Amino acid sequence: MKFSANLSMLFTELPLLARFQAARDTGFQAVEMQFPYEAALPELQAARERAGVEVVLINVPAGDLMQGGDGLASVPGREAAFHAAVEQALGYAAGLGVRCVNVLAGRLAEGVARAAAHDTLAANLRHAAERFATIGVKVTCEAINPFDMPRFLLNTSADMLAMLDRVSHPNLAMQVDLYHLARMGEDLPTLLRQHWPQIGHLQFADVPGRGAPGSGELDFQALFGLIAALPYQGWTGAEYKPGMASADSLGWFAAYREPA
């Protein structure tokens, strides 16, 4: 398996630019970030080069979503802001050499019909898929459980698959976060076996607390064994809350890490 460390969740006891080396020192050969835009691109490039890691995933800027707002991608009238966010992400993706860029659907805005939100999201995903295809970067969208993020537009694998069918673009795939789908009660092994070709990126955390593997209910030995046996060639991102110094939460990693 190819594991990446999510620097928005892990090693947060350190400044962002120092997290690249911390990830490498603990055995990760790749990292990902939710929103890298707090740092200038040359600073991120230098941190990546010093650590000798690959950056495999970033998110398109999501407006006010992380502050409790509705975001950009599914809100009618915010298309221009979404297009500007895509252009910002395009520059960072090209400069960092990422494999995938994730679009967060955002919340169903007050007064907006669900059908209109889906129409807006589909058009915006099609636009993003086209733009990132020009630099060979896959676009993904993900489902987020409504317990963690109420009113999020896509909650299940069925929601994601329906959106993929609707957009029907070869440069669009699913980002499957095992934590969010487990919170929705989904059959993760069946999902992985049946739909791995539509998965552009995987992420994980244990359930219900979003901690490291072994802190909750999921059988990660079986899940990681299944992922390793699939033809899936993408990365699997550790996106969990360590609840301690991040390096001390990596007991699960010892059986899987490649030699430095």
Domains of the chain with CATH codes: 3-254 (3.20.20.150)
CB atoms under 10 Å from CB of 183, counted, come to: 20
**Mean per-residue pLDDT for 108-130?**
98
Q: Would the pLDDT of 257 be above 70? A: no
* Residue 258 confidence (pLDDT): 57
The CA-CA-CA angle for residues 227, 12, 214, to 5°, reads 40
* Residue 233 confidence (pLDDT): 94
pTM comes to: 0.96
Alpha-carbon distance of 204 to 179, in angstroms, equals 5
Whether residue 32 lies in the annotated active site: no
The pLDDT tens digits of the residues spanning 54-75 come to: 999 999 999 999 999 999 999 9
Alpha-carbon distance of 33 to 102, in angstroms, equals 10
**Mean per-residue pLDDT for 151-180?**
98
Alpha-carbon distance of 6 to 11, in angstroms, equals 9
Catalytic annotation, pick one of 32, 54, 186, 239? 239
The pLDDT tens digits of the residues spanning 207-250 come to: 999 999 999 999 999 999 999 999 999 999 999 999 999 999 99
Catalytic annotation, pick one of 32, 54, 142, 186? 142
Whether residue 239 lies in the annotated active site: yes
Asked if 138 contacts 100 with a C-beta cutoff of 8 angstroms, the reply is yes
Q: Would the pLDDT of 83 be above 80? A: yes
